[in-house]
Amino acid sequence: MTASLAASPLATPPKPPLPALTRPLSPDELEAALRGFHSSYYVEHPFHRLMYEGRLTRRQFQGWVANRLAYQRVVPRKDGAILSNCPDPAVRREWLQRIVDHDGSRPGEGGIELWIRLGVALGVPREEMEDERHVLPTVRTICESYVWFCKSTPWVQACASSLTELFAPKIHAQRIESFPKHYPWIPEEGLAYFRSRLVQAPRDVQHGLRIVRQHCTTVDTQRQAFEALTFKIEMLWSLIDTIHNAYREE
Ligand code: AHQ
């Protein structure tokens, strides 16, 4: 590559070590290749390093939590898109739980409500969280791209894109560990969302892996699963990049 064109380090996620796919992978080989994306996951992004090393300012935290609500709010919509494309009632019955996890069973419940409470705990007034006045146009476009991806992609590949959560327990555990240590001003109840995901994400990942292991049995469908996970890896990287650049402290 021409030196002048090389992007600055960490401007793009590290490439995962993908197998050549000269033949279909066994289900175990496929799962191992999907887990190999861990090195590309945005837990290594500079913004997240600032966060768990205790170097994030209150303003950066508030910009992050207010913008990340846009992502939390598209999750049940993209899961609804997957349900609309999925012909298997057994898969739909299990996948449906994800929508309840985020929207709750009644107002004032669910993960999106816990995320709004995290925003309030970080000092963003509830009204300013809920009306999304701080959500950046690029963040909104990036989040909407996840909904469009799940609407327009075969349901198995859309399920594969959710498997970034293979690596999410690490990022939630880092927050639960680092917030009290570095940011004593954040009330303990602000961590409730991360604690809920430590339970829900591993359960969801097992379901997503079962689907991909069962349905991605050819070179083409396995390549499409890698492409779906790559889309999501880059989507999350773009999301945190946008927030990092918008709230840089000079
Ligand atoms: O809070 C998150 C969440 O509910 C989900 C759903 C899942 C999906 O279906 O794509 N991905 C996801 C993620 C959540 N939190 C992110 C974070 O950094 O807090 C991580 C993200 C993911 O890894 O995909």
29 CA distance to ligand 1 centroid (A)? 24
Which ligand 1 atom is the nearest neighbour of the CA of 48? 18
% of the chain beyond a pLDDT of 70: 95
- 3-state SS track over 101-152: HHHCCCCCCCHHHHHHHHHHHCCCCHHHHHCCCCCCHHHHHHHHHHHHHHHH
CATH 1.20.910.10 fits 27-246, yes or no: yes
Q: What's the alpha-carbon Rg for the chain, to the nearest Å?
A: 18
Residue nearest to atom 6 of ligand 1 (CA): 75
Give the binding-site residues of ligand 1, using a 6 Å CB cut-off: 72, 75, 111, 162, 164-165, 168, 171, 197
Write the CB contacts of 21 (distance below 8 Å, at least 6 apart in sequence): 219, 222, 223
Residue nearest to atom 9 of ligand 1 (CA): 162
Q: What is the pTM of this model?
A: 0.95
- For residue 160, give both structure tokens: 């594969």
168 CA distance to ligand 1 centroid (A)? 7
Domain boundary assignment for the chain: 27-246
Query: pLDDT (tens digit, 0 to 9) for every residue of the chain, 250 residues total?
Result: 666 666 665 567 888 888 889 999 999 999 999 999 999 999 989 999 999 999 999 999 999 999 999 999 999 999 999 999 999 999 999 999 999 999 999 999 999 999 999 999 999 999 999 999 999 999 999 999 999 999 999 999 999 999 999 999 999 999 999 999 999 999 999 999 999 999 999 999 999 999 999 999 999 999 999 999 999 999 999 999 999 999 998 6
| Ligand 1 pocket test target in 197, 200, 211 with most atoms within 8 Å of CB | 197
Pick left, alpha or beta for residue 182 (phi over 0 → left; psi -120 to 50 → alpha; otherwise beta).
Answer: alpha
64 contacts 129 by C-beta, under 8 angstroms:
no
